[in-house]
Structure 1
Amino acid sequence: MGGVDVVYNPYDRAVNDDPYPVYARMRTEAPLYHNADLGFWALSRHADVSAALTDSALLSSDHGPLLDPGASGPHARTFLSFVAMDPPEHTRMRAAISRAFTPRRVAALEPMIRQIARDHIEPAVERGTFDFARDIAAKVPLDVISELMGVPPAERAGVRRRSDALLRYDPAGQMSDEGVKGILSLGDYYRSIVVERRAAPRDDLVSALVADGELTEDDLVAFLFLLIGAGAETTTHLLCGAWYWAWRNPVQRAAAFGGAIGAWVEESLRYDTPAAGVARRLTRDTEWYGTTVPKDARVWILIASANRDETVFPDPDVYDLGRDTGKAISFGAGRHYCLGGPLARLEGRVVLEELTACVAPDYDIDRSLIRRTVHGNVRGMVSLPTTVKPA
């Protein structure tokens, strides 16, 4: 890697606004990249990312998927459940939870998701100007997860507020006292739901997991932390990306509003992948591109870069609903393939179907007021001011 002058810092706001030029240089000039200051190595090519995601013996998940050192380590499973585990624990946990996320169960959620989407879309469209990220893209996934968990509507805003600390990562791993208190109180709240469902089961996800009998109370609380954070946030960014990039590309927007909803979801996932990367712990000294990376190093696996790899996707920086996205790895691969991927796709499809049914294609976005997340793993928009006209 001598002589390479590529600089990649995932916390740099300029990079975060548009990391893809840096990713392209990394793939070409530094396919194994080392950031000594932040203490990680990065893989950016599709072939390397795909191989890394599927090799859990070489690249362990036992310190969690988060890049930030303060949010990783053996304690990560407390808040990140089975995504911070290796077999056999991961196998046991995932198998138990998977039984509550079968294709049949997920498909059966569509009427509920559609009603939630309408409840948020209709008043926003009536106002004409609204924040797409906050008023629709953030609220729909949170309400869906809350419905699954049995969280009463009156308590959902409080759950979101307290979970925010989990989503605001800092390179130094610092968290405010208020954030720590919020997370602890959220854990107490989730535990109370588990206890209630053991005593009086309902028709919700927590009751189904309790009835399964495979998971301890601590297992269930950790999974609920994961569900409300990762499950809601990535879908929010998928929706924002789809809405924004269709606006930026009128020909593709016409295709989307013409009925290409599935392609709209898939190309948005590829083009502006919400889950930008995952971290792994290297289990033994390993050589990549002539450089030996030491055992226990943090390896940053750049899924978003892989989805723009020019050797796999022709003209990767072109947003094209007509392209073949079959090799995109937007939800990961291997043992840790995202269990919530089918639900996220369903939510994305339903929300976009409802929007295109009631909004004219010539909507507008105020680019000057767009705000993005600034933390390593997940990248997306937290403010997306939009003006629409009824269809």
Structure 2
Amino acid sequence: MTTAGTWEVLLDPYDYDFHEDPYPYYQRLRDEAPLYRNEELGFWALSRHSDVLAGFRNSTTLSNKFGVSLDPASRGPHASKTMSFLAMDDPSHLRLRTLVSKGFTPRRIRELEPRVTEIATQHLDVLMEKGTDGTVDYVGDFAGKLPMDVISELMGVPVPDRDQVRAWADGVMHREDGVTDVPAEAIEASLNLIVYYQEMVAERRKKPTDDLTTALLEAEIDGDRLTDDEVLGFMFLMVIAGNETTTKLLANAAFWGHRNPDQLSPLYDDLDRIPLWVEETLRYDTSSQILARTVAGELTLYDTTIPDGDVLLLLPGSAHRDERVFEDPDDYVIGREIGSKLMSFGSGAHFCLGAHLARMEARVALAEWFKRIRGYDVDEANSVRVHSSNVRGFAHLPISIQAR
């Protein structure tokens, strides 16, 4: 068998068994087919840490301009309309990212933290009250609400509109079992969201306020400014990339903390260890498992030439379990040395602009939760995983809580 040859174990990002536990599949890929080819679905895949890292950092031969998802409706020259600079190459990517960075600053994120704490506290009040009567849905009542509300706070969405905006955002991402492409309901939710944001942008043009939407409209470098469509594209990227992945991060942390109580118990008395919990969750079971690139020109790996235009998948979910890089990678060890080996937010030119926001949200949310509880249990039998070709996490995570 060659490294890129036909392989008896199929890597199918749409397969439900793969969604339940992709890690045995990844192990075999790393060992037996580090460059994998799926003829039926038309993609290549890289699974070893060194190859995935090199792939993220190769923004010339590996192009983003057709998007970063394998889903057919998300791929193509139109991808940047909803994925902003994530679906662009330089120089367009660099221009747009630099302008957006003028408004989406580390300082703005730092100043947002007190409001994130308030929003988290509001949702936790509801979670804890419901939890007195038995099990609650950690995703439905907390992890699925906080990230979108934080994005709405950042953008300046009025509080009375936030439930509706969150419902549309959920609709954009929702997939029924067996659906591998973007369904009509998701397209309708996307249109509703775009129309809402269009009206918001028009309103900010007339009446600026102190929010990210206004900051994006006012961002300027040597007379160059973002167009309304570019602002809308970034707002939509926040909904897709910033909302869902943070929801999954919070639920994955809760699930693996439950599975590893010896690792979790010290955190109840030492909240300063919460960021270490976040980092190990990002390594052990990252939200963003699979990201697509398109080969531009020719790329030769493992004595195999990948043709121009072919899709190559980068598998950070596999890279983080690579025993060539991490000791005992299948063990969940809060506080292990990870550092720059983490690729949950990518690497190189396309490193996630929202990484600091996601980490802050997760740290605040988990710390505020642990201030209120002395323990919790997950009802694994009734937990429901999402079925996605690139994101891993839970649609529902029923838990019972022991309050302090």
Q: How many residues align?
A: 389
Paired with 2:97 and 2:44, the residues of 1 have a C-alpha distance of 28
CA distance in 2, matches of 1:304, 1:173: 22
Give the aligned partner of residue 139 of structure 2.
133
Contact 2:145 2:166 in 1 (8 A): no
1:230 correspondence with 2:241: yes
C-alpha deviation, 1:38, in angstroms: 1.2
**Partner residue in 2 for 1:101:** 104
Whether the 8 Å contact between 1:46 and 1:307 is mirrored in structure 2 is: yes
Q: Quick check: 1:298 aligned with 2:304?
A: no
Which among 75, 89, 92 is matched to residue 92 of structure 2? Answer: 89
Determine whether 1:321 maps to 2:331.
no
- Change beyond 3 A, Cα 1:46–1:297: same
CA–CA separation in structure 1 for the residues paired with 2:292 and 2:37: 13
Match of 1:253 in 2: 264
Paired-residue identity, %: 46
2:124 to 121, 126, 144: 121
Aligned-pair CA distance for 1:277: 1.8
Q: Does 1:216 align with 2:224?
A: no
Question: SS of the counterpart of 2:136?
Answer: strand
Using structure 1 for the length normalisation, give the TM-score. Answer: 0.96
Could you tell me how far apart the structure 2 residues matched to 1:381 and 1:147 are? 24
Post-superposition offset of 1:154: 2.3
Alpha-carbon deviation of 1:165? 4.4
Change in Cα spacing, 1:165 to 1:116, as seen in structure 2 (3 Å) is closer
SS in 1 for 2:37: strand
1:316 deviates by 0.4
| Aligned pairs for 1:95-244 within 5 A | 95-128=98-131, 129-168=135-174, 173-176=181-184, 178-213=185-220, 214-244=225-255
Q: Deviations over 1:284-342 (max 9, x none)?
A: 22221122211100111001111111111110010000211111111100111010000
Q: Which residue of 1 aligns with 2:367?
A: 353
Unpaired stretches in structure 2, ≥5 consecutive residues? none
1:66 matched residue in structure 2: 69
Q: Deviations over 1:84-127 (max 9, x none)?
A: 00111110110111122322221111100000000001221122
CA contact (8 A) 1:70 1:171 kept: no
Superposed CA RMSD in Å reads 1.4
Q: Is the 8 Å Cα contact of residues 116 and 143 (structure 1) preserved in structure 2?
A: yes
Give the CA deviation at 1:3. 6.3
Quote the Cα distance in structure 2 between the aligned partners of 1:265 and 1:212: 32
How far apart, CA to CA, are the structure 2 residues paired with 1:174 and 1:239? Answer: 25
What is the TM-score of this pair, normalised by structure 2? 0.93
Partners of 1:38 and 1:257 in 2: how far apart?
46
CA pair 188-194 structure 1, distance change in 2 beyond 3 A? same
- 1-structure distance, mates of 2:174, 2:79: 15
Deviates more, 1:97-106 or 1:139-148: 97-106
CA distance in 2, matches of 1:121, 1:210: 34
- The gaps in structure 1 that reach 5 residues or longer are none
Check the 8 A contact 1:70/1:172 in 2, yes or no: no
Match of 1:263, as an amino acid?
L
